[in-house]
Amino acid sequence: MQRFIRLFTLFLITLTLSGCGYNTLQMKEEAVSKAWADIESNLQRRANLIPNLVETVKGYAGHEKETLTQVIEARSKASSIQLSPADLGNPAAMKHLQEAQGGLTSALSRLMVVVEKYPDLKANQNFRDLQSQLEGTENRINVARQRYNTAVEDFNASIRVFPASLTNSLVLHLQRKEYFKAESGAQAAPKVNFK
């Protein structure tokens, strides 16, 4: 009888520990970190393409120096900000990164406006290849952001539901992760001016 009680107690402990969410929370936090690494990889790809794009435009539009300088400076600023997975729960750090990336996106938009003035540049195969790669990279960044936000949603919900919330509060102490949000003013339609 004593042996039966021990086995039953061991069975209950095993059953309780297997349902506490400890391993699941660890896996979901890793999914958030992996999704963040995907964003960083695509941001790095964009940063690597920009110097080639700028040099190609510079050859055709050397007197557009201010716009080219702004792109280079925005790239430098955006590339200098690095977040670790530990920073993903820090709203200020995420906002700082998103502002820098938004500045780079804005500078690239101004560069594309400059390009419109130079039909020969738009016809240049090197430029078209670079522009196509940049467009593809922007799409990859958007998809990576969406996947990151999905992983964050799953993780944040997991640390709030029972029994995983109990495991988290007693054992793991994992913090909520921040979503990758749209830039401020992104909901407003861009103004088009053909002057």
Question: In this predicted structure, what is the pLDDT of residue 13?
Answer: 67
Instruction: State how far the Cα of 158 lies from the Cα of 20, in Å rounded to an integer.
Output: 11
Listed residue (33, 31, 41) closest to 89, CA to CA: 33
The model's pLDDT over 23-52, given as tens digits with 9 standing for 90+, comes to 888 899 999 999 999 999 988 988 888 888
104, 78 contact by CB (below 8 A)? yes
Cα 133 to Cα 82: distance, rounded to the nearest angstrom: 23
Residue 190 has pLDDT above 50, yes or no: no
pTM higher than the cut 0.85 = no
Task: Please give the C-alpha separations between residue 116 and each of 12, 40, 61, 76, 139, in angstroms, as whole numbers.
Answer: 70, 30, 11, 24, 21
Distance, CA of 145 to CA of 16 (rounded, Å): 36
d(CA 36, CA 47): 16
User: 120-169 pLDDT, tens per residue?
Assistant: 776 677 778 888 888 888 899 999 999 999 999 999 999 998 888 888 88
Chain centroid to Cα 104, Å, comes to: 14
Tens-place pLDDT, residues 87-110: 888 889 888 888 888 888 888 888
